[in-house]
Amino acid sequence: MDLFTQIKMAVSVKEAAEYYGLKVNRGSMICCPFHADRTPSMKLNEDYFYCFGCGACGDVIDLTAQLFRLSPADATRKLAADFGIAEQKPSVLVKLKRGKTQVESERHCFRVLRDYFGILQDWKDHCAPQSPEGPIDPRYVEACHMLERIGNMLDILISGTPNDRAEVVADLQKDDRLGLMEERNRQIREVAYEQS
């Protein structure tokens, strides 16, 4: 990722304005530094500014460049120095990587759970007791016990909030439950294949 993008992701227009001494009011308005402005007419949004008085607009790099009469490249370097972006580079990358790993973990959990769910459905359909007196197949018991729970977890992974999804993933990663479940799924599939 280039430094421009990194700065724009890390520093909002408002943060830069405040850091460089512009007084931001509660509506995120400031007196425009680029024309004689007596009442705040410049609006600061997260990633761009716009002045209703003189029409000045741009992103955090433009704001810094115009404030200090710098080229965009120099303004970028100034922001990097002032906000410690260069030093934070590794941590920003770690954060991005963590985000990616989270998505991968969710996909992994989903695959294992869906596999197990399919096995449980099989068992529920094929291992039900044949008569009230007959022995109860433990696989049928497990299916009755687990189907709804696993179904709920799958629902959360499909349509839950990021927090809920993260909770499911954390729960499955505890004591390597996911790894054990995956291994067991594999063994069940193998036995079923040998028997068929």
| Integer Cα distance of 155 and 146 in angstroms | 14
Q: Strand 57-58 vs strand 29-30: parallel, antiparallel, or unpaired?
A: unpaired
Which lies closer to Zn ion via its Cβ, residue 23 or residue 189? 23
Question: How many residues make contact with Zn ion (CB under 5 A)?
Answer: 7
Tell the smallest beta-carbon distance from residue 48 to Zn ion (Å): 14
Each as own residue / partner, the long-range contacts of residues 33-38 (CB below 8 Å, 24 or more positions apart, any chain) are 33/66, 33/67, 34/66
- What is the closest distance, in whole angstroms, from the C-beta atom of residue 7 to Zn ion in the complex? 23
- Give the residues across from 43 on adjacent strands: 29, 50
Least separation in angstroms between CB 58 and Zn ion: 12
- Least distance (Å) from Zn ion to the CB of residue 67? 12
Residue 35 near Zn ion by CB under 5 A: yes
- What are the structure tokens assigned to 80, written together? 């990097």
Contact (CB, 8 A) for 30 and 13: no
Which of 32, 60, 61, 119 is close enough to bind Zn ion by CB under 5 A? 32
- Contact partners, residue 148, CB within 8 Å, separation at least 6: none
* Least gap, CB of 69 to Zn ion (angstroms): 16
Q: What is the DSSP letter of 38?
A: S
Among 163, 60, 164, 158, which residue's Cα sits nearest to residue 117? 158
CB of 55 to Zn ion, least distance (A): 7
Q: Please give the backbone phi and psi of residue 37, each rounded to the nearest 5 degrees, phi first.
A: -120, 120
Reading the block at residue 59, the tokens are 């992103």
Which of 16-24, 46-54, 100-108, 178-186 is the region at the interface with Zn ion (rule: CB under 5 A)? 46-54
The answer to whether 151 contacts Zn ion (rule: CB under 5 A) is no
44 binds Zn ion (CB under 5 A): no
Using Cβ positions, the residue closest to Zn ion within the complex turns out to be 32
Task: Give the x-and-dash track for 47-76 against Zn ion (CB under 5 A).
Answer: ----x-xx-x--------------------
In the complex with Zn ion, the residue whose CB is nearer, 19 or 52, is: 52
Task: Choose the stretch contacting Zn ion; rule: CB under 5 A; options: 34-42, 66-74, 100-108, 119-127.
Answer: 34-42
Structure token digits, residue 86: 């260069």
From the number of C-beta atoms within 10 Å of its C-beta (0-12, 13-18, 19+), residue 120 rates as buried
Judged by the rule CB under 5 A, the positions of this chain that interact with Zn ion are 32, 34-35, 51, 53-54, 56
